[in-house]
Amino acid sequence: MADHDDGGRLSWFLAGAIVGGAVALLYAPKAGKDTRKLISKKTESGRDALADSGKEVLEKGREFYDKGKEIADDAAELFERGRKLVRG
């Protein structure tokens, strides 16, 4: 490739890009409008799934918080009982 000048390289690059674009258009599974609809539907379903996951995570977080609070309250109560027993 050292023999080619920059103009030759650019020409080959542009030719390859044009051929690649033509092949992509010929073998594209759907038209642009259909592809945009598909992307829109997939984006919407992904957004819904993310929202549902967020709700589940929030619920689990609340459950863990409530359990942790209950354990902390029980531990505090046991600590107070032990302190009272030690003081007599």
Domain ranges within the chain, ordered by starting residue: 1-29, 31-88
Residue 85 has pLDDT above 90, yes or no: no
Residue 87 has pLDDT above 90, yes or no: no
Determine phi and psi for 30, rounding to 5 degrees: -145, 165
Over residues 32-68, the pLDDT tens digits come to: 788 778 778 888 888 888 888 888 888 889 999 999 9
Q: How many CB atoms lie within 10 A of CB 86?
A: 7
**How far apart (Å, rounded) are the C-alpha atoms in residues 30 and 47?**
23
Query: What per-residue confidence (pLDDT) applies to 3?
Result: 52
Over residues 14-30, the pLDDT tens digits come to: 888 888 877 776 677 77
Q: What is the mean pLDDT of residues 6-15?
A: 78
